[in-house]
Amino acid sequence: MEIVKPGRLGKPLKAGDLIKVISPAGPAEPKLVEAGMRRLRTWGYRVEAGQYAFDKNGYFAGSDANRLSDLLSALMDADVKAVICSRGGYGSLRLLDKLPWLEIQKLEPKLFVGFSDIGALQLALWTRCGWASLSAPLTANGLGGSDINRPAMRHLQDWLNGDNRSLNWNGSETTRLKALNRPSGKGVLLPLCLSILTALVGTPYLPSLTGGLIVIEDIGEPAYRIDRMLWQLKNSNVLDDIAGFIFGRFILGENEITESVIESIRYYFPDKPIWTGLPYGHFSARLTVPLGLAAEITTSGELKVSLR
């Protein structure tokens, strides 16, 4: 099978560039959205909220039609240089079959920031349009509250402005991964919430993952449900040809259950390379991780990203 290809990341932002904040999934707390927008303005950017960014309709941020409208408006507007989602939650999946992918393919990539549930949109932008994106703290659940710490904010800022597009904290402290069964590897980084990856199985929106470095994390899923997801992924054969797994953190309530998930991964995928220790997931000290860029894990455990 053909190995997956890297996408193109949007150009670094300059002072005065316009960021559009949208809510394509769950509803966000307006005060947190506004606080996150204020923070982005302190970084020197113009920031506008989508027309329906503050809507709420049950567990959605407004109707499908309105969430789709904001997403399309942000993607199609040439003046918008970056799109940052307000939060994850649930709802991105419902937009996938409504988007005019042929029209989006004609656009130049712009920076798109999502996380968790938004990963479904990011995966589709990569496979259908060749866009790489940033799996990173969001406007409300991140920049607007206490969901991330200052180094995590700075790391996102560095990816936006191009100062430190690496997977090291602020260009100084080097992140070292621990290899469980293979010292080095390379592939295309695909950071995804495990439950979102599983939900895409059997749909046109899960592409070939051949050669992908699957960066996995999740929150609120008990170990037995994660084992069930891994059983499905194993028996659907969608991960047969991946380059390996990179572990972020799996969190359940106040506890981390990453070690239990590693045991399940090794049970279902005993021959796949596994690396652990990436500061990525639903916790405050997390790195911004690009989705769709080529990367290499060195024998010393350093994760290096190619920006070409």
Greater pLDDT, 144 or 308: 144
Just give the CATH number of 178-305: 3.50.30.60
pLDDT of residue 206: 96
**Region 72-96 average pLDDT:** 97
201 within 8 A of 236, measured Cβ to Cβ: yes
How would residue 169 be classed by pLDDT, with cut points 50, 70 and 90?
confident
Note the pLDDT tens digit of each residue in 46-71. 999 999 999 999 999 999 999 999 99
| pLDDT (average), residues 244-269 | 97
Does 253 have pLDDT greater than 90?
yes
By C-alpha distance, which of 41, 141, 43, 39 is closest to 85? 141
Task: Supply the pLDDT for residue 172.
Answer: 64
pLDDT at 2: 66
Contact 161, 113 (CB under 8 A): no
Tens digit of pLDDT for each residue in 184-223? 999 999 999 999 999 999 999 999 999 999 999 999 999 9
Full-model pTM: 0.96
Q: What is the pLDDT of residues 10-31, one digit of tens each?
A: 999 999 999 999 999 999 999 9
Going by C-beta distance under 8 Å and a sequence separation of 6 or more, which residues neighbour residue 47? 18, 19, 20, 21, 37, 40, 41
pLDDT of residue 124 exceeding 80, the answer is yes
Question: pLDDT class for 136, splitting at 50, 70, 90?
Answer: very high
Q: Where in the chain is the domain with CATH 3.50.30.60?
A: 178-305
For residue 1, pLDDT over 80 is answered with: no
Q: Averaged over 276-300, what is the pLDDT?
A: 96
**What integer pLDDT is reported at residue 175 of this predicted model?**
85
Q: What is the mean pLDDT of the chain?
A: 95
- What is the SS3 string spanning the chain? CCCCCCCECCCCCCCCCEEEEECCCCCCCHHHHHHHHHHHHHCCCEEEECCCCCCCECCECCCHHHHHHHHHHHHHCCCEEEEEECCCCCCHHHHHHHCCHHHHHCCCCCEEEECHHHHHHHHHHHHHHCECEEECCECCCECCCCCCCHHHHHHHHHHHHCCCCCCCECCCECCECEECCCCCEEEEEEEEEHHHHHHCCCCCCCCCCCCEEEEEEEECCCHHHHHHHHHHHHHCCCCCCCCEEEEEEEEECCEECHHHHHHHHHHHCCCCCEEECCCCCCCCCCCCEEECCEEEECCCCEEEECCC
Q: What is the pLDDT of residue 171?
A: 60
Give yes or no for residue 146 having a pLDDT over 90: no
Percent of the chain whose pLDDT exceeds 90: 93
Q: Which residues are catalytic?
A: 116, 217, 282
- Of 16-20, 141-145, 280-284, give the lowest mean pLDDT range: 141-145
Over range 262-272, report the average pLDDT.
Answer: 97
Q: Which fold has domain 18-161?
A: Rossmann fold (3.40.50)
Residue type, 118: I
Average pLDDT of span 65-89:
98
